[in-house]
Structure 1
């Protein structure tokens, strides 16, 4: 898999982030992971959060190059009659009916159409309270907390800095060393999930700085190198450069 100029600097299989999918893609469709990337992008397209960019000067609306030839990435549709008796056509959500190439090279450009709005993107009250209840339960196991985090902060969900810091502050129990050690794991995982989902994306560094050293190291492992890799088309961030190294000076 090769993703040219992707906004998250994808350099390996662990680097693809469906929350930041904008970029140019070259997928070897014989590769299982490449097919899973395409399916992830199709899911984003299906819910109206992204689109495959049309080829320039192609009146037929094709949006990809497949083995050197113009090609259209699309999904099947289904037609139904609603309660008012009107006929409606929608994208077929049944992934077993989707056709994904299993060979050749597929090249295309994908753009996220998600617009972040602080009010709309804040974690909804139900999900927020579910996390609060789970984090407040001192007997809850790390696996259970992870499950609640995954369910509450889904792929297309964002969280405000205030919500994240309030929840993070609940994950402490210094009076119980064993439980505090478990909370370290949860703190690391929670911040890694919030990393790409903060409404105030410029405050990610502040959130990371709230972690203790052990949790921060674990959080960075969860995130992986691609999250900290420099990309020219998405250069916003905080840098610590060793200027003795040519790559840092460049």
Structure 2
């Protein structure tokens, strides 16, 4: 479960103070698929960075699986991020001179996963996204949709409880975007909690809930489908 209560994020310089998030409250239950929408500059990326433990918040409470993140050291935060959270970005972020398999393997190396286990996880992740035949290809040899599927495989190889996606279909055409969304829905159905930022209202409606952020606050909440039976309060 992800729970934010009265979160604020303030960026300060010598002359300017910018409130990216203010009085921000959000709860995502285990097993949910939630989309985040809102205009540019509304605080969506700041929210995602805080949720992914990529940057600290200024005040408030953020609990991940019942643990208060604000009370953890940098090393503890890094451990929680590596063990619990997977990331998918709009730009794919694949290393161009590494093969598909090697790109998926890189985060597992940093986590100290054994060679045999890395090989098994890479093969399993590629099979899940339907790219087993592209094992030794370079990113430049793949379409945009295939590259995003590799990015999804890389995230899922870490077996995260939470998957955070920042505009994962933003660089894709309509057909590829739908295919990626189909894949995310399948991953969610298998038990992974997903929070996805998107500008596409049609994709936003495919989630169980949509949260709209305006001026750093939750301004609208819509439920489209019931949360999975496995969801926990």
TM-score, length-scaled by structure 1 = 0.30
Greater helix share, structure number? 1
TM-score, length-scaled by structure 2 = 0.31
Greater strand share, structure number? 2
**Could you say which structure has the greater relative contact order, defined with CA pairs below 8 angstroms and 6 or more residues apart?**
2
